[in-house]
Structure 1
Amino acid sequence: MPAPIRVDFYFSPASPYAYLASTQMMQLQVETGCRVDWHPLWGRALVNAAGYNPSQAAAVSGQFRPEYRSTDLARWARLYNVPFRNHADVVIPDPQRLAIACVAAKRFDAGQVFARALMKAIFVEGRTPADEALCLSIANDTAGIEPHLFQPKMDDPETAALLDASVQAAVAAGCFGVPSFVVHHPDGGSEMVFGNDRLPLLKQAVRAARDAGA
């Protein structure tokens, strides 16, 4: 039996679209037999490293207007039938620190459990501020990682290096924002699919890669 197709899921825990996409990853695995590997990063670091930031362009697309994004997010949540709340009242002092916390959790082999809980806290429960104290609480409550163990891992330079490595890997794969997905083909090639709204294309790419390696 061939090995399952591997999909790298690059996400920012502070991104509402990454949260929405994350709610569909289990279904993707069930429907296609693929394996999804979660890679947290800081979305702004990725767009900067990729050399493209649409929010700073001379003519900004209307899709970035706050009122439209709120409507769009609510529509996707209804389509997926998943809980979602307007997160505008959630204070996120340091989005990069949230990504660091997700990487630290990965080093305890609890990355996906932690990331799911953190995004739920922000985009479902509206817990604020979404800061380091919240991360320590979630690590303890969802993964059993006590604060005196989790805090040093967050501050470990190796954790920051791993976060930077994820950004560089994403850029090398052609990613320019979150959520992004990289489908690895059996022949060693890969293809990138960007955006929560392109999950049908992601599913198609995974099935094509699977069939090619059958």
Structure 2
Amino acid sequence: MAHVDYFFSTLSPYCYLAGGRLEKIAAHHGATITYKPFDLVAAFPRTGGAPVDQRHPSRTAYRAQELPRQAKKLGMPLNFQPAHFPTNAAPSSYAIIAAQSAEGGDLGGLVHGILRAVWVEQKDIAQDDVIRGCLSAAGFDPSLADKGLLAGAETYAANTEEAVTRGVFGAPFYITDGGQMFWGQDRLADLDAHLAGDL
């Protein structure tokens, strides 16, 4: 059975734009997914990147065109300047880690719900009530927001180290069990083709 390690940030607009396509692709090919939220901002200086507010003006200008363009192309709503960006991505990441261990709900739905909260619903995903609402909507016990915080912190840090070690330099980033790497929501079609044996 094929497997995909999915490295992502709960603050990334490009992860939001990925929507539920990874889950559909995995289901089509009978592949499994391990969700690996990581600290993208901490990884940037170690992998040649920079946070949005530290990028060259030409890069931020391009981003200002590209994000609305991609959202329109995908038919997805997007607030280009959300009310709570940036915010602390750790609490929402811990909740995803706890939910993955607990099982029983829609993990992909939880990830997308948290990203949608940032980029569509103007919510602060560092707040407990927002995280609890996302957990509940995805079929998880909302009390997971308060459980396993130490384990969540350790896993989040370990995911970040693993990401850097394995060559992850952005998000979303997909790595197959065969070591093939795909960066960006606009490479999901390539991942699909690879899992089909066509690429």
- TM-score range relative to shorter protein: 0.7 to 0.9
Tell me which of 67, 78, 81 is aligned to 1:84.
78
User: Please, which moves more after superposition, 107-116 or 170-179?
Assistant: 107-116
2:5 is aligned to: 8
Query: What is the CA–CA distance in structure 2 between the aligned matches of 1:146 and 1:105, rounded to whole Å?
Result: 10
Tell me which of 22, 25, 28 is aligned to 2:25.
28
Map of 1:37-116 to 2, 5 A cutoff? 37-48=34-45, 50-55=46-51, 60=56, 62-63=58-59, 65=60, 67-109=61-103, 110=105, 111-116=107-112
- CA-based RMSD of the aligned residues comes to 2.8
The Cα shift of 1:135 comes to: 0.9
TM-score, normalisation: structure 2: 0.81
Equivalent residue pairs, number? 195
Query: What is the CA–CA distance in structure 2 between the aligned matches of 1:42 and 1:81, rounded to whole Å?
Result: 28
Which residues of structure 1 form unaligned runs of 5+?
Answer: none
Per-residue deviation, residues 45-66 of structure 1 (Å, max 9, x unmatched): 2324x4422459x983723x1x
Q: 1:146 to 1:41 in 2, by over 3 A?
A: same
Tell me which of 141, 145, 150 is aligned to 1:145.
141
User: Please, which moves more after superposition, 106-115 or 11-20?
Assistant: 106-115
Tell me which of 163, 174, 190 is aligned to 2:167.
174
Tell me which of 158, 161, 183 is aligned to 2:151.
158
- Of all paired residues, the percent bearing the same amino acid is 21
The Cα shift of 1:182 comes to: 0.2
Tell me which of 186, 192, 196 is aligned to 2:185.
196
In structure 2, the residue corresponding to 1:100 is in which secondary structure?
A: helix
In structure 2, the residue corresponding to 1:83 is in which secondary structure?
A: coil
Query: What is the CA–CA distance in structure 1 between the aligned matches of 2:28 and 2:69, rounded to whole Å?
Result: 23
Q: What letter is aligned with 1:131?
A: A
